[in-house]
Structure 1
Amino acid sequence: MTEFGDFISALGEFGLYQKWLVLFLSLPLLLSPFQMIGQVFMVVDVPHHCNTSWIRAIGPNLTEEEQLNLTLPRDAGGAYEQCSMYSPVDRDLGSIMAYGLNATEKCSSGWVYPSAPPPSLLTEFDLVCDRKDLNDISQSVYMVGLLLGAMIFGPLSDRVGRRPVFLMSMLLQSLFGVGIAFVPHFYVYMAFRCVVGASVSGILITSLALATEWVGVSSRPKAVLISHCFVAIGQMLLAGLSYGIRNWRLLEIAGSAPMFALFFYIWVLPESARWLVTKGRIEEAKKLLQKAASINKRTVPPGLLEQLKPETQTKSGSILDLFRKKHLRKVTLIMSCTWFADSFVYYGLSLNVTSFGLDIYLTQFAFGAVELPARYCCIFLLQWFGRKKTQAVLLLLSGLMCLVITGIPEDQPIATTVLAVIGKFTATASFSTSYVYSAELFPTVVRQTGTGLCSMSARVAGIMAPLIRLLGQYHRAIPMAIFGSAPVVGGLLCILLPETRGTDLVDDTGVATPELRWVPRTLNLTQKNSKRANIMQREICQKPERKKYHLFLFLSCLQQQKSGNYWKV
């Protein structure tokens, strides 16, 4: 059977059809930062103290200052304690003013926020004092949702298709995202956040499959990383929108409701033609390929379409195949460690970079601004140096930055910040590289299952990262030492992986090594001869030991220019 890459080359590797597809896949990713880190702007710390209105029943004419002086203890700095108060007593006001109160207890009647801030999660659900940990717990619950999404939507996408899972994830994110704005209790908020996390995970891993399975070999990094750039842009948009909208419920609606506008995807978002072929749905695949070729203003030769037949050897894959077969077991274990290290160092640095000297909104904008060039640079790094070298070097650099930070004195915040920003740059680039690399290493029949499994390991790292930070109470260097060690180990393990630059995607789990496409399978040299010749010469001469042989093929191909025939290797 003719390989599927031949059809992609015939209809155009990254034509107008694929560009529109990448745009459609990228638009939902603009909103994912609102769900991932939007809570940072909903739990802004504000001054507070215990509600001591009980004394009003005894002294209704007391001023606010007198009430606080009588009912709240002071700390060593002379400020009112925020989490404790004097225990209520059954005495008259004169006795209280004369002898004072001695016994203290925790806030038993809620809290008061004197500055009258805009409604936030902190003020509305009293996430202070003993309830302060609920903020971190809710972030971990969201990460659990991402983990569940990877477990559920990855294998489901391999079974029922990429398109229905993508649309289902969009629907869940829209409904539960807007629903969060109307929750009456914080525990309901956490439950809704878990569902939203699962839906975000479904969108991320499904968009990866659609982006890679519809484009040609040379355009895969571009397709995936352009969509990742939208995540960075979304972070910058989040900073601006949260600065203008201080009411947390309105901010949640603003970050979730626009997803409803994307439901026209039901009519325009295609299924993966490559996945359809693996499932034997040949006629549906042919229609999609012809439609794509028409939009790209190309024509797929009828004879080529007739060769599109299901492979009898190709069977539906399962998660067991990832561990049953030796080559897939190695890829699965190493890539799971890579994703774990990516997420570990990414969240570790994001939680510790707090020395910019800027307010929270400018800091968030800076984070997004750092990620945008990091993701964009990957497009060129992956083409120039390949997947394996790029992945290994970026992981090693991000880990080394963390390890170097452990030796920087506490009184050098600028040096620490510069190193942390460099580390975040390389960690972000490494994370994007992992998406491209994983999509190329796993076969089509288990691509989403494998990617979902790797994503699960990343979510475990995301849950662990806040807990590792607690070790800083024993020594400030311990968290950064751990955050730096994991990516160094992951980077060294990447050396054992195969290179996938210039290779076609594998469909069957029985294929151990991706096939290298030295020359485009279908190439019309009468169109843009010089440009295509230059591109082909670079592709066929990538390996010095084969340069002489493939240069002969290249020269032979040039002789076909006058005839206008398609040349295949």
Structure 2
Amino acid sequence: MAFTPFLFMVPHVPHHCDTSWIRAVGPNLTEEEQLNLTLPRDAEGSYEQCSMYSPVDWDLDSIMAYGLNATEKCSSGWVYPSAEPPSLLTEVCNRFLTHRGWGREGTPKRLPSPAIPTVSSFFLPRIGRRPVILISVFLQGLFGVGIALVPHFYVYMAFRCVVGASVSGITMTILALATEWIGVSSRPKAVLTSHCCFAVGQMILAGLSYGIRNWRLLEIAGSAPIFAFFFSIQLLPESARWLVTKGRIEEAKKALQKAASVNKHGFPLPGLTLAFCILKLKPETQAKSGSTLDLFRKKHLRNVTLIMSCAWFADSLVYYGLSLNVTGFGLDVYLTQLAFGAVELPARLCCIFLLQWFGRKKSQAVLLLLSGLMCLVITGIPEDQPVVITVLATIGKFTATASFSTSYVYAAELFPTIVRQTGVGLCSMSARVAGIVAPLIRLLSEYHRAIPMAIFGSVPVVVGLLCFLLPETRGADLADDTGAAAPELRWVPATHWKTHRQGNREKK
């Protein structure tokens, strides 16, 4: 939940331009008189929230006699009702925008998400899966709680970027770890069951945000629980497959032996991708490391990288395009957030069966097409039908969530072990770009309300068609290298393992 409460930290609250300049000539004016003289009204008769009459150097009698006509954007910041709970907008952003003079530019919009760097794609091939998870969890908790204490917007943005990078590191690393430990038949279940935790977090977020209106306390409540993860550090194994590709055979043996003892099984271990006897595991050639360039040197990997990057971009664009618009569907923001979180749970669970029945390629393509079509249909629904719009948006969120989950499983199976995290990292980076672009696209609603949804809908439709060019990976084992010589993982039947183990006991 560390990156999601931003929607609730910057709630829409009534505000108006700071027009205290008139106090210099009319110190005895009441608040209502001040506002009547300095603020224009909109078509509904309410004070404009982001426009004011231009200050003049007249005396008060002249201002009251002739009135003010010329208008401009807020030049001295905004005033918020003192009865409202403190929010990120009123405590941090407003000071920043006023200091920078941004009030002259236009309306204080909901700020776009900061760039989220994807660092795990560079560290994972070097230090392994387990250390990156632990480092990312620590940084997410530390800087997530630290955000609640920030005094300035620049510090907030820096901390938010670290949290975003940590979240990306955790999600991608867990994906690689689960993919490399779990066998073909159980892989979607393992990966997508872990994704259900995202849905649970979304629903908890709705309740937390409703009950905790102070943004600093909300940030602490959403970030501090991650530290509980450290109680289960000893249960987190390193990827045996990754260790093999790095030539660290003894460590791979120990990891598999530990898994066997915990599961109370011999070898080959049921459900494990590494279905071979560790005593016969020997690299035929020296282990080779993968790099980003490997993804583009070979044609098949280049096509996979480009299309999957586009798929992740489209997934993220429609996912965040709908998620960030929870305040724009006409219903209560907390109820909409709860519905969006609740719909993710069945979406991720249904995705397990879709991947088993229809395969990865068809599921990815069709889900992208459906999520895009829902957004396109919304563009034709009148604004006075909030329930219809919310229902369509919820269906779109369902398909977008299922598509996003499919992308995780699909990408992990398409990329070889030595470049798996690099490939998934590039895809995730593409998704982060979409996450940055999504709130900016929403600003186009100033020109026409249908423009953002038209973009959110058309992109996944186009990319969904491209996904039909990808290979199918259902039922296929993971590839370990890009086609060059790599450690050979030899299969040894379970009977051979048992016989070998018996022989060792007899020798002793």
TM-score (norm 1): 0.77
Aligned to 2:16: 49
Change in 2 beyond 3 A, CA 1:410/1:521? farther
Structural mapping, 1:93-492, within 5 Å: 97=64, 100=67, 106-124=73-91, 125-126=93-94, 130=104, 136-139=110-113, 141=114, 144-145=115-116, 148-149=117-118, 152-300=119-267, 304-312=277-285, 314-352=287-325, 357-410=330-383, 412-492=385-465
Mapped contact 1:355–1:417 kept (Cα < 8 A): no
CA contact (8 A) 2:322 2:393 kept: yes
Alignment of 1:545-556 (within 5 A): none
SS at match of 2:456: helix
Stretches of structure 2 lacking an aligned partner (at least 5 in a row): 270-275, 496-508
Note the alpha carbon deviations across 1:472-519, whole angstroms, 9 max, x for none.
45554443333223222222222222222222211121189xx9xxxx
Aligned AA for 1:245?
Answer: I
Aligned counterparts of 2:104 and 2:369: Cα–Cα separation in 1 = 40
2:36 aligned counterpart, secondary structure: helix
Cα offset, 1:201, TM superposition: 0.9
User: Are 1:472 and 1:479, in contact at CA under 8 Å, matched by a contact in 2?
Assistant: yes
- Alpha-carbon shift at residue 299 of structure 1 (Å): 2.3
Where 2:277 maps in the other structure, the secondary structure is helix
Report if the CA contact (8 A) 1:278-1:311 is conserved: no
Cα deviation, residue 397, structure 1: 1.8
TM superposition score normalised by structure 2: 0.85
Which letter maps to 2:31?
A: E
Shift of 1:332: 1.2
Give the CA RMSD over aligned residues: 3.0
2:468 paired with 1:500: no
Cα distance, 1:136–1:111 mapped onto 2, change above 3 Å: closer
The residue number in structure 1 matching 2:272 is none
Task: Give the % identical residues.
Answer: 78
Change (3 A) 1:441 1:118: same
Amino acid paired to 1:67: Q
Map of 2:505 onto structure 1: none
CA contact (8 A) 1:336 1:458 kept: yes
Identify which of 80, 86, 96 aligns with 2:47.
80
Question: Helix, strand or coil: the match of 1:263?
Answer: helix
Q: From the superposition, tell whether residues 311 and 376 of structure 1 become closer, same or farther in structure 2 (CA, over 3 Å).
A: farther
- Count matched residues: 478
Distance 2:233 2:402 in 1: 32
- The 1-side partners of 2:203 and 2:435 are apart by 21
Whether the aligned pair in 1 keeps the contact of 2:17 and 2:74 (CA below 8 Å) is: yes
Could you report, residue by residue, the CA deviation over 1:523-567 in whole angstroms, capped at 9, with x for unpaired residues? 79xxxxxxxxxxxxxxxxxxxxxxxxxxxxxxxxxxxxxxxxxxx
Q: Which moved more, 1:162-171 or 1:96-105?
A: 96-105
What is the CA-CA distance between 1:54 and the residue it aligns to? 4.6
Structure 1's 482 and 522: CA in aligned 2 closer, same or farther, altered over 3 A? farther
Deviation at 1:218, TM superposition (A): 1.0
Q: Is the 8 A contact 1:155 1:449 kept in 2?
A: yes
Mapped contact 2:73–2:106 kept (Cα < 8 A): no
The whole-number CA distance in structure 1 between the counterparts of 2:279 and 2:330 is 64
Partner in structure 1 of residue 499 of structure 2? none
Going from structure 1 to structure 2, the CA distance change for 1:276 and 1:345 (only over 3 Å counts) comes to same
Letter aligned with residue 441 of structure 2: I
Moved more, 270-279 or 101-110: 101-110
Where does the alignment leave 5 or more consecutive residues of structure 1 unmatched? 1-32, 525-569
Q: Provide closer, same or farther for how the CA distance between residues 316 and 463 of structure 1 changes in structure 2, counting only shifts above 3 A.
A: same
* Alpha-carbon offset, residue 416 of structure 1: 3.5
Letter in 2 for 1:485: S
Give the deviation of 1:67 after TM superposition: 3.4
- Secondary structure of 2:479's partner? coil
